[in-house]
Amino acid sequence: MRAEVSSLWSNETWVLADLPPGAKTLPAHMLCERKRSADGEVSRRKGRFVACGNHQVAGRDFTDLWAPVARHATLRALLAMAASTGMLLYQLDFETAFLNGIVDEELYIQQPRGCERGEPGKVCRSVKAIYGLKQAVRAWYLKLVDLMTQMGMTQCTADPYLFTRVGEDGAAVYLLIYVNDILLIGKYAASIEAMKQTVTTAFASRDIGVLAYFLGLHIGRD
């Protein structure tokens, strides 16, 4: 829980503010969960500060909501290609994916209970999205597309969450994203490492290593 609150402040997710007259704070709660590895064992414990998006009012607290997710057909096609051509498979994980999206609406959220800062009565005015907000997924998607464009990646027209880039060696690197899980596929380790460095520099990410478990699929090679 302390790590989650610290990441919210360090990521400049919000600023302390006085609640304007007539405005209401959006409730939020700290949810604790156990992350499990491919074998079902608990690998780590995580706290997640989640806003109660069901209290948001359409037209005032949010407008556009649409955002895509990677298609499972795309994932299977990439795995088949990698298996037939011997391409390398690696996985990354965005630590705080939704905390990077920008919120355009004026939203006030109550401070994490037990971790309040500033003078009594201060609330958090959102600058970036947090989990639970109606527009969080779309804000993250728009931020991600902007980053990928800056990295020289080409967005697939058939699947918006598949990006490709051809390196100086002429080999393509494929990057498939499902919310905060990233699949990297490439022919050469150097190209993949360069992509890892670019992504981890832009966003706080965790290098999981060689792909073994992705979206409920166990991946093995012989």
Domain interval for residue 81: 2-218
The count of domains in the chain is 1
Judge whether 12 and 56 are in contact, CB under 8 Å: no
Buried b (16+ CB within 10 A) or exposed e, 87-103: bbbbbbebbbbbbbbeb
From first to last of its 222 residues, the chain has per-residue pLDDT tens of 888 888 888 888 899 999 999 888 999 999 988 887 767 788 888 888 999 999 998 888 888 888 888 899 999 999 999 999 999 999 988 877 777 788 888 899 988 888 888 888 899 999 988 888 999 888 888 888 888 888 888 999 999 999 998 877 778 899 998 887 889 999 988 888 888 888 888 777 888 889 888 888 888 888
Tell which residue, 59, 47, 51, 52, has the closest CA to residue 7.
47
E runs forming strands in the chain: 14-17, 28-36, 42-51, 88-94, 108-109, 123-126, 154-155, 162-166, 172-178, 181-186, 205-210, 213-214, 217-218
